[in-house]
Structure 1
């Protein structure tokens, strides 16, 4: 079975749920699986009956029946009922994902080629970049292609509003164990949310083909207690406030005479 927080070797099924949304996704998934298996078994049984009962040897004189009202009503009504049964929990799940509850904190996410930037506007407005740790620099316990130098930290059992955008091309912010997957679009601010119910480190990745290093922009979210989160915020304010912004050198416009002489 699949693990929680990151992929498992030879995994089957979705990653373990660590949020109410992902728990609902699990329930809907298993509900669909039951319907799919039932339909497949019904079709298989009908095929076996047809093959045994209506082959040339068992039925040398074929029936000339062209219409059967009851069968036609059944094969029209039953699929409609199945679709209605699927639609009701599907719409309920979509509403749960898209209806943002009142948030305890906000994390703004910006996708770049090819790394993520994070900002905490409710906790001091500090920000930082998060890049993948190279394989040669991995520490014991850090997963390959998923570990990052600066993890996102959030408190357990708190509602986190995630605001997602991009600085260059389309990216996609995806955290499987939280049931979050939302596109990051340049010039647009999309929103999602999660409520992590278990402490630990959870990993995701960009799920949009955004360029040559698409496979190397992971997401790491560490879920901690409320007290540990408060301590981390104070440390982060000092740590990331001391990081100097990259210098931008403006190019002076040439004088009118220089332009004329150049021409």
Structure 2
């Protein structure tokens, strides 16, 4: 899943998803997401570059079934040099979940259509495998998922169509995911004391479908709202640092400001407004 920063903020909103020093919000005593009848319906985002200039505008809309499960979302992004629309749909069975994502990108000079399909296998309500096909790939990728006794995800093993195998490991502490790592990269996470009750509200730069994680199909998720994360590539210095500020309305996260400090020291931000219905 998924590519641009606006989509990443999406994984930030549905379940929780987005600073240490930058966390300014309405204090750690603020209750978040208290009304269980409301669901995240829409996310409107704006990317602002290091010069304070607006670059991208995004709009995400979500639909649910009678059991409160996400059945579709549309993520549209408009930038000065391209437009991008991602449509994703979910189908739920007793022992499987099927997801199809269609991305239509238009740069003005070219247009591409990419389709990615996931068939998740379930055991005791948890995803244990994922068979993935994608336009232009030469074959199928297969992922298997491992959990500990507390139903926390601890490892994903991916086998590519070429036969190569690699593993992503997850480290937990005090009810929160604090590290995700593989052979080439490490992601480290810090949290506020605010509880993450519902709704994808932060960016883990995740290898998981954020909506399905929020719904419990990948086991337990973090207990608190994310405050910051950083990642390193090939055991190098910090490649990127992200921090998050939250605003609340009627107990729900209503705005998220993500700041990204890049390896060259420049800082950009994304402002997202969350609408609950």
Normalised by the shorter chain, which TM-score bucket?
under 0.3
Structure with greater Cα Rg: 1
The two structures have a TM-score, normalised by structure 2, of 0.25
Higher-helix-fraction structure: 1
- Higher strand proportion: 2
| Structure showing greater relative contact order (alpha-carbon pairs closer than 8 Å, 6 or more residues apart) | 2
